[in-house]
Amino acid sequence: MRAFIFPGQGSQAIGMGAALAEASRPAKDVFAEVDEALGQNLFRLMREGPDDKLKLTENAQPAIMAHSIAVLRTLGVDLAGVANFVAGHSLGEYSALCAAGAFDLATTAKLLKLRGQAMQQAVPVGEGAMAALLGADLVLAQKIADAAERGEVCTVANDNDPSQVVISGHKAAIDRAIEMAKDMGAKRAIALPVSAPFHCPLMQPAADAMQDALSYVVVETPAVPLFANVTAQPTTDPDTIRTQLVEQVTGMVRWRESVANMFNAGVHEFVEVGGKVLGPMVKRIAPDAKVTSVVTIEDIEAMAKEIA
């Protein structure tokens, strides 16, 4: 069994998609359709930068999704014929749903633009922060977060793999967690270069905005089940998907559990579409799994031969 997985924020880079668009008409069409849907020249920003503008959440989210879908359409496969499940890390969940036909491309781009803006606006710049705890599992990360809280928000945002957990919340609480992490048993704690504290209760205004936006959107039944971030379980029900996308804004990304549950369900091949971020995490969660990252035209050609 095979799962197609889609990367989240942080996988953006200047030049992303440029060579692909030159080599592939379907990819070029994806970037043009996203530009038209958003009313901005996002693809030029992806190709040329500047980096600080591409990193802005409202640009990075639709850019990463567009790149993943461009790779997938260049691959030119019927997803249901080659994959048993899809999953995505945070915003990658939208890419996965677009790939599986739950949302069309233009709708996905608009939702992610709005999601990025809403997440950025939910907390004033400088009030929130995130940190990666390395050499810490979920139990230890939760202990550190609880100890650092002191009446402020400090909670686990991403359970990425057995050795990397991300916490999120008020900046002062995250600073305290970074200070005490090593003494409590973590190898290292690193402040993340993010502009807002994602996946924590401080994001409630963004969750409200997404609930409103998603209430107007048609969600089709995906061609293959989605392993959802907030439950680490598969679903194909449109109403459930809509609800879980709202919960995902403030909820923990249960990536480690999602991969482990897919592996236990019989998935022994994971294909990361449009990035090389999730593959190493998958290998730490399920060392026996086969992991392939598909980014370049050469990667796509190799994958096309394999699944033909």
DSSP labels, 201-238: GGGHHHHHHHHHHHHTS--PPPSS-EE-TTTSSEE--H
Which pTM does this prediction carry? 0.97
- Catalytic residue from among 24, 199, 258, 293: 199
Residues 72-115: tens digit of each pLDDT? 999 999 999 999 999 999 999 999 999 999 999 999 999 999 99
36 exposed, middle or buried (CB, 10 Å; 0-12, 13-18, 19+)?
Answer: exposed
2-122+202-307 CATH, one of 3.40.366.10, 3.90.1150.10, 3.40.50.720, 3.40.190.150:
3.40.366.10
Measured distance CA(264)–CA(286) in Å, rounded: 9
Axis crossing angle, helix 278-285 with helix 255-264, rounded to the nearest 10: 60
Measured distance CA(130)–CA(153) in Å, rounded: 11
Residue 90 annotated among the catalytic residues of the structure: yes
Bridging pattern class, strands 290-294 and 269-273: parallel
Residues ≥6 apart with Cβ < 8 Å to 44? none
Asked if residues 54 and 14 have their Cβ atoms less than 8 Å apart, the reply is: yes
Residues ≥6 apart with Cβ < 8 Å to 220? 101, 102, 103, 238
Same topology for domains 2-122+202-307 and 128-194, yes or no?
no
- The one-digit pLDDT tens for each residue of the chain (308 residues) are 999 999 998 888 899 999 999 999 999 999 999 999 999 999 999 999 999 899 889 999 999 999 999 999 999 999 999 999 999 999 999 999 999 999 999 999 999 999 999 999 999 988 999 999 999 999 999 999 999 999 999 999 999 999 999 999 999 999 999 999 999 999 999 999 888 899 999 999 999 999 999 999 999 999 999 999 999 999 999 999 999 999 999 999 999 999 999 999 999 999 999 999 999 999 999 999 999 999 999 999 999 999 87
Q: Is the preceding omega at residue 50 within 30 degrees of 0, hence cis?
A: yes
- Catalytic residue from among 90, 168, 258, 293: 90
Residue 199 annotated among the catalytic residues of the structure: yes
Q: Helix, strand, or coil here: 163?
A: coil
Task: List beta partners, residue 5.
Answer: 87, 272
Q: Provide the pLDDT for residue 214.
A: 97
Q: Helix, strand, or coil here: 159?
A: strand
Measured distance CA(98)–CA(108) in Å, rounded: 7
- All structural domains of the chain with their residue ranges: 2-122+202-307, 128-194
- Could you tell me which CATH number the domain at 128-194 has? 3.30.70.250
